[in-house]
Amino acid sequence: MTQQPQSPFFRLPREIRDLIYEFYVYEDEGYFYDYEARKMQLRSKGLYQRVSLGFIYTCTQVADEMKGVAFKVNTLTFRTGASEDDGGEFWGLKSRAGRFRCLLAYTFWTKFEMVRITGSLATRAIVDEVARKYPNVGLWFELLLREWTWGWPGDWPVPHGGYAVDLAMSEFFRDALNYCRELISESKSSEFTALASDALTPGHRYIKGITVPAFIESATDSIARWKAVPWMIPSNHDLKLTESLLRSSLSDA
């Protein structure tokens, strides 16, 4: 079997080839992150355009030698997701980032109530497992167990709301809260569902004196299963699915 002759391009010194690669990928305005496509793109007159990858696809050796070159020689621009054409507005919020932040807060407090209400189902083994996996916030779940064991007032874990904002924005606490909810639900599924539904029932005494739940009563299972990565904004379609579960009365609050 005869070997295919090597392209004259590869007879050039590597230093020269590198200069050619840099010239090929260089853009005066650099690359811009298109959060819709989740890719780095070119941008001209406000419109995103695909980066040309033709040269990279010519052969494996070129692809290997060009790795990282585009990011090395170009400026990379990341901008916030807010824009006038961000998929429409919801309750006056035009950006997906703003809508997502609201949903994070609403779902957090709803799940918070679910766990607080079902705290009687939390066992020593469940609390110890949460503390093992999330030691930085394990104390809060120890307080949950003590509240239900000793009959403390139902203000877990923020007696006067002093840590409310910090907790809601804490990734560790959100993850630990989800984990605790999953463990309780898995151990006593039917009992958990029956109790957790109170978190979406109007008139229930919520922490901070809130009496109107954020979501409609039929959304209990959907909200319990809803998971989101705080730094990855969902698509407009996914946001609308969760927003459709919100109570319309909240928009007047």
What pLDDT score does 4 carry? 44
Those residues with Cβ within 8 angstroms of residue 129's Cβ, 6 or more apart along the chain or in another chain: 183
What pLDDT score does 18 carry? 94
**CB burial readout 89-123, b (16+ within 10 A) else e:** ebeebbbbbbbbebbbebbbbbbbbbbbbbbebbe
What is the full per-residue pLDDT of the chain (253 aa) written as tens digits? 344 457 888 889 999 999 999 999 898 888 888 776 778 888 765 566 777 778 888 888 998 999 999 889 999 888 765 555 555 566 667 677 788 888 888 888 888 888 888 888 888 999 999 999 998 888 888 877 777 765 544 555 554 444 454 555 577 888 888 899 999 989 888 888 888 887 788 765 555 555 567 888 888 888 888 888 777 778 888 888 888 888 876 654 4
Distance CA 114, CA 230 (A): 20
Q: Are 192 and 182 contacting, i.e. CB atoms less than 8 angstroms apart? A: no
As a three-state string, the secondary structure of the chain is: CCCCCCCHHHHCCHHHHHHHHHHHHCCCCCEEEECCCCEEEEEECCEEECCCCCCCCCCHHHHHHCCCHHHHHCCEECCCCCCCCCCCCECCECCHHHHHHHHHHHHHHHHHHHHHHCHHHCCHHHHHHHHHHCCCCHHHHHHHHHHHHHCCCCCCCCCCCCCHHHHHHCHHHHHHHHHHHHHHHHHCHHHHHHHHHHHHCCCCCCHHHCCCCCECHHHHHHHHHCCCCCCCCCCHHHHHHHHCCECHHHHHC
What pLDDT score does 65 carry? 92
What pLDDT score does 161 carry? 45
The pTM of this model reads 0.59
Domain ranges of the chain: 8-77, 96-252
Residue keyed to tokens 């950006």: 95
What pLDDT score does 151 carry? 53
Choose among 178, 170, 99: nearest CA to 137.
170
What pLDDT score does 157 carry? 54
